[in-house]
Structure 1
């Protein structure tokens, strides 16, 4: 999310960005899990002229059915639940969002697919970069927008192990046939320390399965070893009952399987000389729980704007960007910690209460819902940064 949004605005402000992407080509299509844009994140894509496309591509899930062992299913209106968090919201599959952003930038932004940065050397007046495949080049700035396991962050700020904070949760997502004729409904099974959900993908007629679980001890795994990760998911959920055995039958063959720990990146500074970080590379609040997609969109927009404002002193622009976003980042990370504690029930009592509490919440007036979400912290975080107006710096549209 952060990379193409940043590239879009840098180009509009007169810069010449190059995006380096490890995958051999854009993963067109509808892969990845559903992500949310809230509040200022929605406003960023509006300013990019992409709102109509993104809204048309939304997941269109309207009903969430919460189920637990021994309890009656509870239906929750998803739109009412989202409205309590923010007045502006859209849920969209990650792959669909990536395609829209790429299409909006590919005509005037250079993309290097199938490559990765190997070394970075900042001599104060520019940055020399070598790649795994391409010839060495020199840039005015290097921005790491390469996600939770950022290579740029590792090269310049140090190994990931010393910069991450495990929150105790894990997330797995993959595609499978629509086994339950889901339509616009999401099915959610709640158990102690684990949640399973499945929802339809209206564009393809398929479905997505998502698994969230929490462990008291940190799991050790290779984030590139998918076979190891599939074994972890199988072991955690094989005794879950409900519809889980049917979902797990498709785990081994899914070609878009994703798994990772829900970790935060705890850096307090996201710039060093002429190198900066944005999105999950710099300050991941935690996948699936901290509003990371909105955070990525907003901070990428602010970074481009601050660089445009300080065109003659780009390191100063990085520092200004850091000052502008610091409170937003802090609130997002704090909200994610609270969400992690509440979203996955840790006891049988909590499992019984979650469906009832959620159904009750969406029936309350929007003002009361917003107050409740602000106590959680997510609502407060999402509204913590009003988008600056950088239009005087535009050089192209």
Structure 2
């Protein structure tokens, strides 16, 4: 039956998968490099089929209770005067802070969770996968799942180096805690200079605000786990900026020990499985934060992977192929991120002026509303999986 399943990564995809595997009678173990869950984080959207997954897990009422209650994006000039606003509220979607969603999923996972450890080596054969850990003794599992993000170590061990699968999308971003007094309540306030954006995110239901920074750049050579280096990179780009409230936001962000920095990138793979190893979430298909679909894809993808394993009676060869076939069309759709980054980070001053003029047009708001309704109608109900035993 392939009961013993190791999941690397205790974030949205990994914890959702653990919940459903346990419900179907498997015995998942989750290993997470971080010693504790990461609180806060950015806002993520639970929408369309992801709402259905959360409802079936029984957590959707709490997701709604923890919603960020953000009305939209506001673009300002150097004097902090609003030049354009975009209402992003969508009745089909609930935005929640990533840390809040991960906490809910952790409560629902009902699985063995090993924190402060990670996989060092994988050796698979016809009978299982022997896993060597950084700290814990080696163990053998029937299957291993990489749910460890865009920089997946499991993907590197089982499939090959990162550069074969991760595509850089010309931008880097950072977020961290910020002084709430610097932004308007229930709005994401953004200030642009050519190729750069500094902003502040004010949730209506959270006292803590978030600073955001995005800048255009060719690929940079840095250690994605070195927070001190991340802070130096962002300081180098924004440290000389004296307009608006950029300096205050930067000082606040640099003081946050949980400062987060990464590239806007996408993961493209011909297959998400290799033998007894399979990937889920950003490790398999990261659509980049600009897509706004990370949580949706993670929740739905994990639900489908667990369901296909149950329906196949644990036969990973059948289940992995079905999982890939049914989930890939949604991934490919969401990876077409459109003008989101160009909207937030115009390349030139002229581009910023055009952006501000466009988002003020009533027609743009109407087009956005129609697009959201069409997407909602196109979302097909998820299957109810049943274990084949």
What is the TM-score with the length of structure 2 in the denominator? Answer: 0.89
Which residue of structure 1 aligns with residue 37 of structure 2? Answer: 26
Matched, 1:358 2:359: yes
Asked if residue 51 in structure 1 is aligned to residue 52 in structure 2, the reply is no
Q: 1:238 maps to which residue?
A: 239
Q: CA contact under 8 A between 2:150 and 2:282: conserved in structure 1?
A: yes
Q: Please, which runs of 5 or more residues in structure 2 have no aligned partner?
A: 1-11
| CA-atom RMSD in angstroms | 2.5
Q: Secondary structure at the match of 2:148?
A: coil
Corresponding residue for residue 88 of structure 1: 92
Q: Match of 1:222? A: 223
2:291–2:334 Cα contact (<8 Å) kept: no
Alignment length, in residue pairs? 377
SS in 2 for 1:17: strand
| Compared CA separation, residues 171 and 150, structure 1 to 2 (3 A) | same
Structure 1 residues 383, 167: CA separation in 2 closer, same or farther (over 3 Å shift)? farther
Q: Identify the residue that residue 11 of structure 1 maps to in structure 2.
A: 22
Per-residue CA deviation, residues 82-128 of structure 1 (Å, 9 max, x unaligned), is 43xxx5111111111111111112xx311011111111122122211
Residue of structure 2 in register with 1:73 after alignment: 82
TM-aligned CA deviation for residue 387 of structure 1: 4.2
Partner secondary structure for residue 291 of structure 2: coil
- 1:73 deviation in Å? 1.1
Residues 1-397 of structure 1 aligned to structure 2 (within 5 Å): 1-27=12-38, 29=39, 31-69=40-78, 72-74=81-83, 76=85, 78=87, 81-83=88-90, 87-105=91-109, 108-180=110-182, 182-202=184-204, 205-215=207-217, 217-240=218-241, 241-333=243-335, 335-336=336-337, 338-360=339-361, 364-365=365-366, 368-371=367-370, 386-393=380-387
Q: How far is the alpha carbon of 1:373 from its aligned partner?
A: 6.8
Deviation at 1:182, TM superposition (A): 3.2
Question: How many angstroms apart in 2 are the aligned matches of 1:181 and 1:163?
Answer: 38
* CA distance in 2 between partners of 1:204 and 1:249 (Å): 21
Cα shift at 1:234: 1.3
Q: Is the 8 A contact 2:281 2:301 kept in 1?
A: yes
Can you give the 5+ residue segments of structure 1 that lack an aligned partner in the other structure?
Answer: none
* Aligned residues of 1:173 and 1:259 also touching (Cα < 8 A): yes
SS at match of 1:152: helix
Relative distance call for 1:337 and 1:131 in structure 2 (3 A) is farther
Q: How far, CA to CA, are the matches of 2:162 and 2:179 in structure 1?
A: 36
Paired residue secondary structure (2:252): coil
